[in-house]
Structure 1
Amino acid sequence: MDFARVMDVLVICVPVFAVLGLGKLLGIKGKINEGHCQFINWLVYTFSLPSLIFNEVVRQRFDMFLDPALLLMPLAGIAVMVTVTMGIAKIAGYKGGFAAAFVFGTFWPNATYVGLPLCQNAFGPEGLAKAAIYNGFVLPFVIVAGYLLIGFYGAGDGNIKIGERIKNAFINPILLSAVVGIVIALIAEQFRSPEGELNLPMPVLASAELSGSFLKLIGSMGLPLALLSIGASLKWEQTRSHLGALSWSVGCKLLVHPLLTLLLILLFCPEADAVTKGVAVILTGTPSAVAMYVISCQLGVERGFVSSMLVLSTALSVITIPIWVYVVTGL
């Protein structure tokens, strides 16, 4: 074992989980309540993360946005897991909301609130940029898959039709900030020299630099706030009657999906660079998403089971994510 790399892993992972723990402690002490979490989530989702994602995406060369290793291989891994898990649900006789949660719990990652700071710590600005692109384009498909599974199993009691919810999954600040950033990056590509320098008037470059500094400041505050909110929101509700199903869903989320993603990249995208492989594996290996729990509560889909997946996957990710970070930093 390379102990120097172990120390690097600790530097990457410990601050993220320490802030999560601080959020949990503040929640226990009553310093962060549900109202605070709702405001933090609104602020982060509407302003901070879109600013962060736009600011990182707009700086990138356009060829980064067409990377199948980053965008297609994680989705292929999801397709494999969904097929297998739906078969298990059928054999086990799972139905309705429980079946839907059992399946979507295997792949719905917290790639934004947990994934972004991890990728930033692990790979710097390039890792953050790739993670932002993943969030902008892979996560909407993840959310849509969750809604489709809820509809397929006839679960949920929400008043909004499934089509409207799918549309909302694609029209959101995270995706829009990534799309706008890509459009501007494509336009800027026409003014780049072969060395990558932008050939634009000085006032334009100065304005872009000032705007970027503002967006970076707004965006950087979102990551620690999001982690505090997640920590304060973690609540264990019930698991005793479904330990087998819970173990499968959480095991797929933390171990099987990142492993499948890595194997698919090595098999079909062997030319992928180390940062791309690392970001894809880290993001697919993040714990269950808070959005998964929120949507389940809104639709009345197995709140207790989904809450247990969120808590257990977050707790176990303290062990699994450092392992994945150790693996990918050695690629």
Structure 2
Amino acid sequence: MSAISAFTSAILPIIAIAGVGYVIGWRTGISVGQLNTVALNFFLPALVFHGIVTTDLSGKTVLNLGLAVFAYTLIMMGVAYLSGRTLDLPDAALPGVVLASAFPNSGFVGIPLTEFVFGDIGRTTATLFLTIQSVILYTVGVYVVSASSDNTAGVRSAVREVFRLPLVYAVVLAALVRFLGLVPPVDGTFMTTVDSVGSASVPLMLTVVGIQLAEVDLGGLHRIALPTALKLVVAPVLGAGIAVVVGFTQPHVGNIFILECATPAAVTPLALTIAYSDHDDESLSTAEYMSTVIFVTTVLSVVILTALVVAIQGGYLF
């Protein structure tokens, strides 16, 4: 597959839908918060539930995926932390660098991308990646943000958020339904409805990404070189290495994992950094710093993701 073909088939649809969201956000000033809440609490859980109860992924593959996500996230956090310390970054910027580098936008960008490239198996694998990542983010991630400010109450509150995530319950319910052999008929009313709701999450998530980018207040572009390089260069290489070590028996799953690792910086860490950190650099606020990283990595990831899709379709990875 040529770069042009990979771009038009997998990347251009994402840019087009997110671009519409950007224009809507820019022209109307609409707040993305409520749309984001609806996507996370209704559309995305339906996508997760339907994907898991109908997937052909084996239990071993799901376990390997979980181990890979944990390994990738923790190693990236360590690399980002050591890099920040080596470059003598200010304490206020360090949590942002760590979270922006380690947590990819595996949901709002990764799910649509993997569905365009791999179909249903891509969507299901990406939702599992997102769910596992969310658990790490609301535990280890929040600890990183809060540790330097001794915000222990914030840590406890954030950890409790894990048990409020509809994604987690959608996974548990789907696994239980499969284990008990109670999966409803795929062509029945219930599963058809769930599938319709879940499928609607893809354009909705991309629209939310576009609106989020329209809200970004860029600042300090010269200070984001480290997290940008870690997210766009180191993360895909590390993801590929972990995929080889884990040894996914299904090549598609290994490729999807690498693509997920290569997606741009996620938005959720920005919200957590603002909520649970007491620091603020006078020359550049934490919110501006994280927002700039998100914007730049989202724009530049187009090149990286296109190259990876070409490599995957050409059989150069798994």
2:307 is the counterpart of 1:307:
no
| Aligned residue number for residue 20 of structure 1 | 18
Residue equivalent to 1:251:
229
- Cα deviations across residues 86-116 of structure 1 (Å, max 9, x unaligned)? 2222233334431111111111111111111
Corresponding residue number in structure 1 for 2:121: 126
Superposition pairs of residues 1-331 of structure 1, within 5 angstroms: 2-3=1-2, 6-30=4-28, 33-34=30-31, 37-61=32-56, 63-64=58-59, 66-154=61-149, 161-188=154-181, 205=185, 209-234=188-213, 235-240=215-220, 243-244=222-223, 246-269=224-247, 271-299=248-276, 302-329=286-313, 330=315, 331=318
Report the secondary structure of 1:72's partner residue.
Answer: helix
Q: Distance in 2 between matches of 1:75 and 1:247?
A: 25
Structure 1 runs, 4 residues or longer, greater than 4 Å off:
none
Report the TM-score when normalising by structure 1: 0.84
8 Å CA contact 2:217–2:288 kept in 1: the answer is: yes
| Contact 1:53-1:178 within 8 A present in 2 as well | yes
TM-score (norm 2): 0.87
**Residues 69, 272 of structure 1: 8 Å contact kept:** no
Q: Which amino acid aligns with 2:276?
A: L
Deviations 1:279-314 (A, max 9, x none): 101111111112122223333561110111111111
Aligned partner letter, 2:289: F
Query: Residue 39 of structure 1 aligns to which amino acid in structure 2?
Result: Q
RMSD: 2.4
d(CA) in 1 for partners of 2:167, 2:273: 20
Structure 2 CA distance for aligned equivalents of residues 172 and 126 of structure 1? 23
Equivalent pairs, count: 307
Q: Structure 1 unaligned runs (5+)? A: 192-197, 199-203
Unaligned runs of 5+ in 2: 280-285
Mapped contact 2:259–2:308 kept (Cα < 8 A) = yes
Q: Is the 1:78–1:257 contact (alpha carbons within 8 Å) kept by the matching residues of 2? A: no
- Of the two, which has the highest radius of gyration? 1
